[in-house]
Chains A and B, each alone.
Chain A
Amino acid sequence: MEKKLLSILGKLEKEFGGSASEYRGDVSLVIPAEKIVAACQQVHRLGFELLSALTAVDYWPKGASSPQGKNPRFHVIYQFTSVVLNLALTLRVPVPGINPSLTTISHLYRNANWRERELWDMFGIRFLGHPDLRRILMPADWEGHPLRKDYPLGYEEPQFTFNFDEINLRKPHAKE
């Protein structure tokens, strides 16, 4: 790991009490949910001005094994890149499965606006303080959050010769 990244990681670990880990050259730090806005402000001050990615992972049904010993359902991942220092850093935030919510960072990083809307749409994670939290990719009256693991894929049976007619009867066709 580079020296600059080591020192930045040390500072963040001391201030926010997370746990750092490295895998295949990628450095990630687990931060508790209450401290995420302060952590993002500190990361911004340290030179990471580009929020590359903001996504989430769903660990249903078993939950993730978080270092704090709990089993949260979601992990929200913030990926930062520093153009000035040429470094990359990941922050992972465990979020529980019942009424998942986090505070928004869209005042710090403006592209978090749509990314948090996408997380609300796909996972159901609410962002407190977001100026405009509504569905972005699915139609506005859609029910359910598609990227959760308990949401079905919506697979339709393909028509082969032996079941062609029975599926044809079920499938809606436009007549005119």
Chain B
Amino acid sequence: MGVEQKLGNMGFATTTLEQAVAWSRTNAMWPMLFGLACCAIEMMSAQAAHYDMSRFGMELMRPSPRQTDLMIVAGRVSRKMAPVLRRLYDQMPEPKWVISMGDCASCGGVFNNYAIMQGVDEVVPVDVYVAGCPPRPEALIHGVLMLYEKVCGMKFAEIK
């Protein structure tokens, strides 16, 4: 007979610390409004009523980096924008994650030239890459769920 059976009626629940922390992180992860180009429109479509992202916890998108823990880099990052991106990433409080949405953010996409950064992982460390030009809203949601799996799998030693 385990502890749970004795304590169940008194309103206690037992779990591991990692599971509790992962549950709280994934159920209310607020992304930062970082839509740059065409992928931003698909990100807005994913947030709107048809493909609702708020059922996964992303109820609102905050423009201020201090109030978010996820940055979805949606769109092409040009050389002029790269220092701005890095500064905003530095302003986000830990723990933070980055989803690179679309081809241009992951690898430079269609544009292989002097003006576009070939992949946003030259500037910020990326956790999940979502491919597509632009990726369908369902693909973005798949990427978000993959990120949740990664967060749930983080061990206690890695949680800072």
Assuming A146-B114, A153-B114, is B122 touching A171 (CB within 8 A)? yes
Main SS of chain B's interface residues? Answer: loop
Partner of B112, one of A158, A172, A176: A158
Q: A152 to B125, Cβ gap below 8 A?
A: no
Q: B79 to A139, Cβ gap below 8 A?
A: yes
| Interface membership of B80, Cβ < 8 A | yes
Q: In A120-145, which residues have CB < 8 Å from any B CB? A: 138-139
Q: In B95-139, which residues have CB < 8 Å from any A CB? A: 108, 112-115, 118-119, 121-125
Give the size of the chain A interface in residues (CB under 8 angstroms): 16
| Interface membership of A154, Cβ < 8 A | yes
Residues of A within 8 A of B79 (CB): 138-139
- Given the complex of chains A and B, what is the CA–CA distance between A151 and B115 in angstroms? 12
- Given the complex of chains A and B, what is the CA–CA distance between A174 and B122 in angstroms? 5
- Given the complex of chains A and B, what is the CA–CA distance between A174 and B115 in angstroms? 19
Residues of B within 8 A of A174 (CB): 121-125
- Given the complex of chains A and B, what is the CA–CA distance between A172 and B119 in angstroms? 10
B123 to chain A, nearest CB (A): 5
| Interface membership of A162, Cβ < 8 A | no
B28 to chain A, nearest CB (A): 24
| Interface membership of A26, Cβ < 8 A | no
5 A-B interface contacts by CB (under 8 A): A138-B115, A153-B113, A154-B112, A156-B112, A173-B121
